Chain A
Amino acid sequence: MSTLTDAIGYGLVSAILIALSASAFSLQYSVSGVPNFAHGDLLTIGAYGALVAQRMGLNLAAGAAIGGISGGIFGWLMYRVVLRTFVRRGARLVFTVAVTAGIALILENSIGLIFGNSNVNLVVANQVARHIGPFLWTNTQLVILIGGAVLLGALYFILLRTDFGRAIRAISDNPDLARASGVRVERTVQMTWLMCGALAALAGVALAMSEPNFGIYLGSDFLLVTFAAAIIGGIGKVNGAVIGALIIGVVTEVSGSYLSAGFKQVCAITILVIVLLVRPNGLLNIQRAGAEA
């Protein structure tokens, strides 16, 4: 019995990480139409940012802030320097995908050049596990859960309650209409890439905290679950990303604890395949007309 609740508890921790990562990916996608395959590297940048801060003697909170800021800057640069021309030109979708994959190669290997390709780790406080309700969490996991929930809450607040959020939603809905009704599209898109870069990087810091050690593929390895969650929810939908994250996070942890750890991926893929077969547009997507886009 306790294994099940423990596993669900762990599942919630990975779910919140996946949710942060997948909603950042989905938001960037929905405002600019760019599926960012370098998304994982934003997480990695966050983790290495925190690492640098720690090596300079700062504490983990400051490290997270520095990681978040670096991720934001890189997210913004990615869009502003490279991707924007492709978006404006209305380049074929496969081009933008390939370009983001190219960016991923550059970032990963540059990080490798700077920090070396061997694994590193963040120093976290001693792990004390404690029961909270039915769940068993370490203090790091608790920090991740609470921090992640706060971030997600903040994201929802921004989306639902601020002008920036309204602009994001208007652009996701219909960029031309948004432009026509006075939304500053370009600025909003750039700000979204900045915000989502920071969000992804913070998820990266949390991910690095929860791993014993990590390397330059920290984030790109996390793309599997991020994408799975995003697809399950219906790409481009923040609500979908959160629901997909819950499903993927909990199911993989539970199956991983009962079967072998290798089954985590098998499960993630199986869920993905089932969703694709039953609802190719994701769980949250109502059928949209494809003809007259």
Chain B
Amino acid sequence: MINFFISASTFVAIQTILALGLNLQYGLAGLLNLAYIFFVAMGAYVFSVVTLPHANPPDTSYVLGLHQPFLVGLVSAAVVVGILGFLIGAVALRNLRADYFAIVTLTIAAGAVQIISQFTPLFGGTEGIFNIPQPLGGVFQGQSYDVFFLAMCVVIGAVVFVIVELLRKSPFGLALRAVRDDQDAAAAMGRNVYRLKIKAFTAGCSVAGLGGALLASFVTAFSPAGWSLSETLLILVCVFVGGAANNYGAMLGTFLVIGLLGQVPTLIPLTSRNPDLVADSRYILIGLLIIVFLRWRSRGIIPERNVRQSDVEVTS
């Protein structure tokens, strides 16, 4: 029981990091990035091939295999995925319409799954990558290792939280929110919409990469089966429920959706007739949550926080 609690908490902590990155893109910049999970996956892959030793075909196959320390893997994931986000954003944002962006990102993600599945030498194809390293395996053992890993995720999550919170409150964050609400008006006030969006997209992808690296290290295995559109929507619904553009909201939403609601379907008794009942009904629930929240409570549980007069009260 306690083991389950620790691992569930670790998962929630990692998902929170992912939600924070997506909130930067969706909540602040209004970018509905349906390829978000693709960037998470790339973070996982980059981390794996940087930290794992050389591949050993035919048992395992992947590129690089640099056998670097955990931290190097983490940083590489954030940096490489940030660059990838920049490149893809530069193309996908060529047309600045919101629906175009969603469609293009979905198309790119769908293509990427197929490509990575087909080209085994890249990241192990459909089989994926195994034995992904975990940090400090020698120092902690058993349950204390799990606690250590949870603590590490929480600390990294806190750092990410502080950074995205600083961004949100800054002129940069304010400009993003303006672009999100009316990009023509933002352009008319001198804001370079394309540039602002690319920046937000890149930063969000970088967070996705970091989260993906932690995810890979936590699960120790990663394959294309783990990332479909549904996974992106799962993170997105955390943001919707908690409150878009609000980082506290994203945290709360992740806790509610992944930590609590996500467990509800496991209460349904399993029958041999339908082994997928739990997974299926979980996704149905998520679909319903998206519709219900956007229909009746589109600002989420903790709505966006505005700069109030009392925040900037000047004593002259």
User: Known contacts A37-B106, A221-B110: does B32 contact A117 (CB below 8 Å)?
Assistant: no
Query: Does B32 lie within 8 Å of A98, measured CB to CB?
Result: yes
User: Known contacts A223-B110, A276-B95: does B32 contact A97 (CB below 8 Å)?
Assistant: yes
A91, A102, A273, A290, most chain B CB atoms within 10 A: A102
Binds B, one of A53-61, A107-115, A130-138: A107-115
Q: How far is the CA of A221 from the CA of B32 in the complex (A)?
A: 20
Query: Does A93 lie within 8 Å of B98, measured CB to CB?
Result: yes
Q: Chain B 279-301, CB within 8 Å of chain A: the 1/0 string? A: 11101101111110011001000
Q: Does A124 contact B (CB under 8 A)?
A: no
Query: Does A112 lie within 8 Å of B111, measured CB to CB?
Result: no
What distance in Å separates the Cβ of B233 from its nearest Cβ neighbour in chain A?
6
Q: Which residue of B has the minimal Cβ distance to A33? A: B99
What distance in Å separates the Cβ of A223 from its nearest Cβ neighbour in chain B?
7
Q: How far is the CA of A266 from the CA of B94 in the complex (A)?
A: 20
Chain B residues with Cβ below 8 Å from A93 are 97-99
Q: Which residue of B has the minimal Cβ distance to A106? A: B287
The tally of CB-CB contacts under 8 A between chains A and B is 143
Number of interface residues of A (CB under 8 A): 50
Chain A residues with Cβ below 8 Å from B287 are 102-106, 109
Number of interface residues of B (CB under 8 A): 48
Query: Does B184 lie within 8 Å of A291, measured CB to CB?
Result: yes
Chain A residues with Cβ below 8 Å from B298 are 91, 95
Query: Does B100 lie within 8 Å of A235, measured CB to CB?
Result: yes
Q: How far is the CA of A99 from the CA of B293 in the complex (A)?
A: 10
Dominant SS among interface residues on chain B: helix
Q: Does B230 contact A (CB under 8 A)?
A: yes
User: Known contacts A94-B26, A220-B229, A276-B104: does B288 contact A102 (CB below 8 Å)?
Assistant: yes
Cβ < 8 Å to B, chain A residues 115-135: 116-117
Q: How far is the CA of A37 from the CA of B104 in the complex (A)?
A: 12
User: Known contacts A98-B290, A105-B284, A227-B103: does B110 contact A112 (CB below 8 Å)?
Assistant: no
What distance in Å separates the Cβ of A260 from its nearest Cβ neighbour in chain B?
7
Q: Which residue of A has the minimal Cβ distance to B290? A: A102
Binds A, one of B62-70, B113-121, B156-164, B306-314: B113-121
Q: Does B107 contact A (CB under 8 A)?
A: yes
Q: Does B274 contact A (CB under 8 A)?
A: yes
Chain A residues with Cβ below 8 Å from B97 are 93
Complex partner residue of A224 from B107, B233, B277, CB under 8 angstroms? B107
Query: Does B108 lie within 8 Å of A113, measured CB to CB?
Result: no
User: Known contacts A93-B99, A265-B114: does B280 contact A227 (CB below 8 Å)?
Assistant: no
Q: Does B102 contact A (CB under 8 A)?
A: yes
Complex partner residue of A112 from B107, B236, B276, CB under 8 angstroms? B276
Query: Does B106 lie within 8 Å of A223, measured CB to CB?
Result: yes
Q: Does B240 contact A (CB under 8 A)?
A: yes
Q: How far is the CA of A223 from the CA of B34 in the complex (A)?
A: 13
Query: Does B94 lie within 8 Å of A109, measured CB to CB?
Result: no
Query: Does B184 lie within 8 Å of A101, measured CB to CB?
Result: no
User: Known contacts A101-B290, A276-B92, A280-B94: does B103 contact A94 (CB below 8 Å)?
Assistant: no
Q: Chain B 102-136, CB within 8 Å of chain A: the 1/0 string? A: 11101110111011001100000000000000000
Query: Does A110 lie within 8 Å of B106, measured CB to CB?
Result: no
Query: Does B91 lie within 8 Å of A224, measured CB to CB?
Result: no
Q: How far is the CA of A116 from the CA of B200 in the complex (A)?
A: 40
Complex partner residue of A272 from B104, B119, B240, CB under 8 angstroms? B104
Query: Does A110 lie within 8 Å of B98, measured CB to CB?
Result: no
Chain B residues with Cβ below 8 Å from A113 are 274, 276-277, 280-281, 284
What distance in Å separates the Cβ of A149 from its nearest Cβ neighbour in chain B?
26
Q: How far is the CA of A81 from the CA of B235 in the complex (A)?
A: 25
Cβ < 8 Å to A, chain B residues 191-230: 229-230
Complex partner residue of A99 from B95, B118, B280, B291, CB under 8 angstroms? B291
Chain A residues with Cβ below 8 Å from B111 are 224, 265-266, 268-269
Can you list 13 contacts pairing A with B, beta carbon distance less than 8 Å? A86-B295, A92-B98, A93-B99, A94-B32, A97-B32, A102-B233, A104-B287, A105-B230, A109-B279, A113-B281, A224-B107, A262-B119, A269-B107
Point out residues on A near B: beta carbons under 8 Å: 35, 37, 82, 85-86, 91-95, 97-99, 101-106, 108-110, 112-113, 116-117, 220-221, 223-224, 227-228, 230-231, 235, 260-262, 265-266, 268-269, 272-273, 276-277, 280-281, 290-291
Extra pairs beyond A104-B287, A276-B91 (8, CB < 8 Å): A37-B106, A99-B294, A101-B233, A105-B284, A235-B103, A265-B114, A276-B95, A280-B94
